[in-house]
Amino acid sequence: MVVIQSYPLAVLMCVVTMLCWGSWANTQKMASKEWKFQLFYWDYCIGVVLLSLIAALTMGSMGSIGRGFMADLKQAAGAALGFAFLGGVVFNLANILLVAAIDIAGMSVAFPIGIGIALVEGVIINYILKPQGNPILLFIGVAGIAVAIVIDALAYKKLAGGQQKTTAKGIVISVVAGVLMGLFYYLVQRGVANNFLNPEAGKMGPYAAVFIFSLGVFLSSFIWNTIVMAKPFVGEPVPIGDYFSKGNFRLHIIGIVGGVIWGIGMSVNNVAAGTAGPAISYGLGQGATMIAALWGVFIWREFKSAPVGTNKLLTLMFVFYVIGLGLIITARIV
């Protein structure tokens, strides 16, 4: 399988993760005017599974390093498979809540709050699992991200109060999504080998683990997404028949592309974790918050009606994110 042994290259792959995880939700925004996010989500999950399978059958099966994808699956212990699958189940619940929050409160709010909380929690948990890097720089960087989250919340408060009730609901859902999102990567890493070059028996390489994770995402959608369709946070219930009667080729492709984009980020991030360590790899990947906020502010114009002074807060938020991410990167070098 293809593995990464260079830390600068691992950081570059984490930047790819950051771009992918911060950009996939644009596909949901593109489709939201024509149908509900619950319908979009079925195609998104299909995209995640497709990408993980393609990556496993190509990059995960190439070369003589480590174990190939099929051999990896055959020797994996039940506990390793279970942890990776459970990671997908937990992620899926968190992500459905996050998509709902995006639908209610917008990308520039849901992402900084939800993913920001996930970043802080996830870095701490994954560092405990596999302590790599300078803890002082790592956690100061995480603190910088936390400050950016608070600043973003202050910026959002300055928006016009016409949607105050919906805003509160969106923020609460974002917080719950963030707490759950901070757990999923840790669960997946419990099933991943410590050394990709010479993986221990019973554990999986990154490609097999991501594939099992994606199955957890897809299969759990029949529980989580079905519930959200029957009992949506906002609006009327969404009939499953709408997926077939109201969908068209373009809408389905948009959803699948969204899943593929996110799946690329997950796959390369797990490969990078072998060199950078799960805490740093996850922390850098979740810098997606900044990318998503940039999309929300400058492309979707979610703050165009904000009062004077809001832009200064948003600028300060981005500054703290950049400082925090820089410290996280440096933590593995020092």
Q: How confident is the model at residue 160 (pLDDT cuts 50, 70, 90)?
A: low
92-102 pLDDT, tens per residue? 999 899 878 87
Instruction: Determine the average pLDDT of the residues in 146-150.
Output: 82
- Bridge partners, 204 (sequence order): 192
Give me the pLDDT at residue 266, please: 97
Query: Phi-psi region for residue 63, left (φ > 0), alpha (ψ -120 to 50) or beta?
Result: left
Task: Name the more confident of 106 and 271.
Answer: 271
Q: Which of 83-87, 120-124, 234-238, 309-313 shows the highest mean pLDDT?
A: 83-87
Instruction: State the DSSP code for 334.
Output: -
State the Cα–Cα distance between residues 324 and 290, nearest whole angstrom. 11
Q: How confident is the model at residue 6 (pLDDT cuts 50, 70, 90)?
A: very high
Q: How confident is the model at residue 159 (pLDDT cuts 50, 70, 90)?
A: low
- Please check the confidence at residue 115 and state whether its pLDDT lies above 90: no
- Please check the confidence at residue 164 and state whether its pLDDT lies above 60: no
Give me the pLDDT at residue 25, please: 84
pTM, entire model: 0.90
Q: How confident is the model at residue 161 (pLDDT cuts 50, 70, 90)?
A: low
Q: Where are the domains of the chain?
A: 7-330
Phi, psi of 32 (to 5 degrees): -65, -25
174-216 pLDDT, tens per residue? 899 999 999 999 999 999 999 999 899 999 999 999 999 999 9
CB atoms within 10 A of CB 161: 9
Give me the pLDDT at residue 114, please: 85
State the Cα–Cα distance between residues 269 and 120, nearest whole angstrom. 17
Query: Phi-psi region for residue 14, left (φ > 0), alpha (ψ -120 to 50) or beta?
Result: alpha
- Which stretches of the chain are DSSP H helices? 7-23, 25-31, 37-57, 69-75, 78-105, 107-129, 135-157, 164-190, 206-230, 242-245, 249-276, 278-285, 288-294, 310-330
> What percent of the chain is helix, strand and coil (3-state, nearest 5)?
75, 0, 25
Chain centre distance of CA 53: 18
Q: How confident is the model at residue 165 (pLDDT cuts 50, 70, 90)?
A: low
Measured CA angle at 180 (ends 178, 185), to 5 deg: 100
232-265 pLDDT, tens per residue? 887 899 999 999 999 999 999 999 999 999 999 9
State the Cα–Cα distance between residues 189 and 298, nearest whole angstrom. 35
Give me the pLDDT at residue 162, please: 47
Instruction: Determine the average pLDDT of the residues in 103-118.
Output: 76
State the Cα–Cα distance between residues 142 and 126, nearest whole angstrom. 13
